[in-house]
Amino acid sequence: MDGTADESTLRSLIILSQDAHTVYGGVVPEIASRMHLASLVPVVDRAIEGAGIDRSAIDAVAVTVAPGLVGALLVGVSYAKALAFAIGRPLIAVHHLEAHLFATSIEHPQAVPPFTGLLVSGGHTMLIDVRAWGDYTLLGATRDDAAGEAFDKVAKLLGLPYPGGRHVETLARQGNPSRFHFSRPMLRSNQEPDSPDYFDFSFSGIKTAVMNAVRTSLPAGAAGNAEPPADSARADIARGFQDAVIDTLVEKTMRGAMISQRQRIVLGGGVACNQALVGAMRDRASSRGIDVFAPTPRLATDNAAMIARTGLFHLAHGRTAPLDQNAYATQQMPGLRNGRTVER
Q: Which does 148 bind (CB under 5 to 8 A by kind): ligand KG4, Zn ion, none?
A: ligand KG4
Is residue 273 a contact residue for ligand KG4 (CB under 6 A)?
yes
The stretch among 6-14, 44-52, 87-95, 121-129 that binds ligand KG4 (CB under 6 A) is: 121-129
Q: Which does 104 bind (CB under 5 to 8 A by kind): ligand KG4, Zn ion, none?
A: none
SS3 191: coil
The stretch among 39-47, 51-59, 164-172, 191-199 that binds ligand KG4 (CB under 6 A) is: 164-172
Q: Which does 164 bind (CB under 5 to 8 A by kind): Zn ion, ligand KG4, none?
A: ligand KG4
Is residue 121 a contact residue for Zn ion (CB under 5 A)?
yes
Closest CB to ligand KG4 among residues 15, 211: 15
SS3 94: strand
Number of helices followed by number of strands (H, E) in the chain: 11, 8
Coarse DSSP helix, strand, coil percentages of the chain, rounded to the nearest 5 percent: 45, 15, 40
Provide the β-strand partners of residue 201.
Answer: 142
SS3 263: coil
CB of 93 to ligand KG4, least distance (A): 17
Interatomic CA distance for residues 44 and 61, integer angstroms: 11
Contact predicate 248/201, CB 8 Å = yes
Closest CB to ligand KG4 among residues 67, 90: 67
Interatomic CA distance for residues 77 and 42, integer angstroms: 16
Residues from 283 through 312 that contact ligand KG4 (CB under 6 A): 301-302
CB of 286 to ligand KG4, least distance (A): 21
Tell me, by CB under 6 A, how many residues bind ligand KG4: 18
Closest CA to 128 of 344, 341, 343, 336: 336
> Which long-range contacts link 230-235 to residues 24+ away (Cβ below 8 Å)?
232/176, 234/158, 234/159, 234/171, 235/171, 235/172, 235/173, 235/174, 235/175, 235/176
> How far, in Å, are 11, 49, 308 from residue 95 at the CA level?
22, 26, 11
SS3 329: coil
Is residue 270 a contact residue for ligand KG4 (CB under 6 A)?
yes
Closest CB to ligand KG4 among residues 170, 216: 170
Which segments of the chain does DSSP mark as H helices, in order? 20-24, 29-50, 70-87, 96-107, 147-157, 165-173, 204-216, 231-259, 275-286, 297-300, 304-316
Is residue 148 a contact residue for ligand KG4 (CB under 6 A)?
yes
Annotate each residue in 302-331 with x if it binds Zn ion (CB under 5 A) or - if it does not, as one string. Answer: x-----------------------------
SS3 226: coil
Residues from 41 through 70 that contact ligand KG4 (CB under 6 A): none
Q: Which does 151 bind (CB under 5 to 8 A by kind): ligand KG4, Zn ion, none?
A: ligand KG4
Closest CB to ligand KG4 among residues 108, 166: 166
Tell me, by CB under 5 A, how many residues bind Zn ion: 2
CB of 273 to ligand KG4, least distance (A): 4
Residues from 286 through 305 that contact Zn ion (CB under 5 A): 302
The stretch among 161-169, 200-208, 227-235, 279-287 that binds ligand KG4 (CB under 6 A) is: 161-169
The stretch among 2-10, 84-92, 158-166, 328-336 that binds ligand KG4 (CB under 6 A) is: 158-166
Interatomic CA distance for residues 200 and 140, integer angstroms: 4
Tally Cβ neighbours within 10 Å of residue 202. 17
User: Interface residues with Zn ion (CB under 5 A)?
Assistant: 121, 302
User: Interface residues with ligand KG4 (CB under 6 A)?
Assistant: 121-123, 148, 151-152, 163-166, 169, 269-271, 273-274, 301-302
